[in-house]
Structures are given as structure tokens and as C-alpha cells.
Structure 1
Amino acid sequence: MSENTYDSVWDALENTPEEAENMRLRSRLMMALADQIKTQRWTQKDAAERLHVTQPRISDLNRGKIDLFSLDTLVNMVSAAGLHIDLSIRPAA
């Protein structure tokens, strides 16, 4: 029996490297948003108003419903949360 090793859980779960990278990015953005909401002590209602989404969307974010969020949506939410994204692109390992 051979063991596969992966760089991340997304590499193990997704069918292609492209899908894994997309999920990795969405995951990082969602974690940053959740941390910001917690750090600022925003209620779900406060967060929804600040991030220009509905309260159920904040609930989805807090529950980690990653499949319900696109990269575009998360980038907009991160910006509305007062955060800045630094992008680093390098050759794949």
C-alpha cells in the first residue's frame, strides 16, 4: 500500500491543482474575514452591514460554507472589512 503526500488538504480533496488553488485562496480569505469579525467584536448583523451582505451570508461564512463563496465575493468582503490583500505569485513546487 502506497501513501500519497500532499502539500495541503485541498490538494488531497480536489480533482485538479487549479481547483485546489482556488479552494486554498477562498479558505484563506474566509479565515481572514472570520478573524476580523471576531477581533472587531462585530455581531453578525454588524458584520453584514459593514461587508454589504446579508446576515445569513455571515452565518455561512462563520460555519465555513466555502462552496457558497466565490473569490470575487470574498475579495469584495475583505476590502469592505478594511483589510488589504497582498498577492504573491511564484512557480509551483
Structure 2
Amino acid sequence: MGDTHFDSVWDAIEDTPAKAARMRLRSQLLMALRTHIEQSGLNQSQAAKVLGVTQPCVSDLMRGKIDLFAIDTLVAMLAAAGLQVELRVAAAA
């Protein structure tokens, strides 16, 4: 094995830098939503009502099934939870 270094797991497993960037963003949004649900003490049914989705959707979210969630879906769910998403763009390293 070589000594290849990646900035994130997404850089290692995705084909292109653009795909890796999208997955990093989706991952950050999903984790923020999971953290909010956990810290709010909501069960999955309660979270589903707040987010305007089904309980199985919340179950998928809590299990980290990132491939099932688009960026805009995650942003909409965060907004429904009363959270604000902020974006920072910087030059690539």
C-alpha cells in the first residue's frame, strides 16, 4: 500500500473532486440534522412530524443512509426543524 493521503473519506472513494464535495456537504447536513434530533429528544415519529416526512425516512436518516438524501431535501428538513444553513466557499487547497 502506498502512503496516499486524502483530506476526507469522500476524496478517497469518489471518482471526482466535484462528487467528493457534494458528498462532504450531504454528510455535514445529515449529521447536523441527526444531532439536532438527538439533542431535541425527539423520537422518530415526532421528528417525522416536525420535518414533514415519514417515520421510515427519519429512520433512514438516523442510520446514516446518505445515498437516500439529496442536498436540497436535507436543507428543507433542516429548515423545517428551525435550523439555518450557512455556506462558506473557499479556495481549494
Instruction: Name the TM-score class by shorter chain.
Output: over 0.9
C-alpha separation in 2, matches of 1:20 and 1:2: 21
Q: Supply the RMSD in Å over aligned alpha carbons.
A: 0.8
Distance 1:61 1:41 in 2: 15
Q: How many residues align?
A: 93
SS in 2 for 1:36: helix
Q: Which residue of 1 aligns with 2:18?
A: 18
1 CA distance for matches of 2:35 and 2:71?
18
- Residue of structure 1 equivalent to 2:51: 51
Q: Indicate the residue corresponding to 1:66 in structure 2.
A: 66
Whole-angstrom distance in 1 between the partners of 2:40 and 2:52: 16
Gaps of 5+ in 1: none
Q: Which residue of 2 aligns with 1:78?
A: 78
Q: What fraction of aligned residue pairs are identical, expressed as a percent?
A: 55
- Alpha-carbon distance in 2 for matches of 1:23, 1:86: 17
Letter aligned with residue 66 of structure 2:
I
SS in 2 for 1:23: helix
Which string of whole-angstrom CA distances, capped at 9 and with x for unpartnered residues, describes residues 21-62 of structure 1? 100001001111111001110110010000011000000001
SS in 1 for 2:83: coil
AA paired with 1:7?
A: D
Distance 2:75 2:9 in 1: 22
Inter-partner Cα distance in structure 1 for 2:81 and 2:31: 13
User: If the length of structure 2 is used for normalisation, what is the TM-score?
Assistant: 0.96
Structure 1 segments (4+ residues) deviating >6 Å: none
